[in-house]
Amino acid sequence: MKNKLPPLEITWSESALRSYKELDPDGLSAARSVLRGLPESKVVAGFSGKSLRIMCKQEVIDATDPATVGATTRLVLTVVPFPQLGLVRIMSIEQLPPELPKPPRGARSAMGIAVRVAGPTRAHLRNEWLTLLIGCPEDGWTPSLTAQRLMVLGFLVASIRMRLHDVARPAWRPLDWLLKKASRTSGVITAVVGAQAIYIVGHQGLGALVTDVWEPCAVAGASLYGLACWLRRVRGIAVEPSGHEAADE
């Protein structure tokens, strides 16, 4: 029967001891959990005289520090065991940035679907939307599960609207072309109003030029002009100057 090795005595290098004392409360808690099991660790004893890096992760549950609640504290300990001497020397302790909590898998999957629906040209939305789902743990705010579900629903609606906008964009090009120049818009309005006047005269005779044509044609012309101005504003179209205006400038 093999003799059981006695627990190893922990010794410290000056830099490791200084780093240990400078750890924040979460880091200290994680380091102590490792140090408790280190003296009797058979794995550590098996690396006699060799440098061994130990990664420690521990979920932060200390509500007094809202900046890291829900994150994971990460430490890397570099140790060199000397089981023949009954010692294990802590060479260094490094506290890594906390690992932020990830949204639930269902929320991430739905967000991925929304990104694919939005189109390949909007792949950057994945990181932006993931940041929204995570929230701001450094400020003590993380969205609840219900809030994350509502966010994902909003992402899906937004992605569908983006894709519909992409599909409808070619249909707007002829209208945008007409709205970019006042002469084109005026030509279309004149043609429509003229066609209306011809229709009225054709049904009511030349006398309608004096009695019945002006009011409906004026209403139609004003309505079309107002519609053109509204569409320019909605589409964000600036009217291009005509040739005479450009020459004057």
Summarised one tens digit per residue, pLDDT across range 36-91 is 887 777 767 677 788 888 887 776 555 444 444 556 778 888 888 888 888 888 88
**Cα within 13 Å of Cα(191), Cβ side:** 6
Mean pLDDT of the chain: 78
Kindly report whether the global pTM for this prediction surpasses the value 0.75.
no
pLDDT of residue 1: 41
Instruction: Assess whether pLDDT exceeds 50 at residue 225.
Output: yes
Q: Where in the chain is the domain with CATH 3.30.2310?
A: 9-99
DSSP 8-state code for residue 21: H
DSSP 8-state code for residue 236: T
Rounded to whole angstroms, the Cα distance separating 190 from 140 reads 63
Domain covering 9-99 in this structure, CATH number: 3.30.2310
Instruction: Assess whether pLDDT exceeds 60 at residue 3.
Output: no
pLDDT of residue 244: 53
pLDDT of residue 11: 87
At 138, the pLDDT band (50, 70, 90 cuts) reads low
pLDDT of residue 63: 41
Share of the chain above pLDDT 70, in %: 81
pLDDT of residue 71: 64
Share of the chain above pLDDT 90, in %: 4
Contacts of 56 (CB under 8 A, 6+ apart): 30, 31, 33, 34, 74, 75, 76, 77
pLDDT of residue 157: 93
Rounded to whole angstroms, the Cα distance separating 219 from 189 reads 12
> Nearest 5 degrees, angle CA 206-CA 210-CA 212?
85
Summarised one tens digit per residue, pLDDT across range 18-32 is 888 888 777 787 788
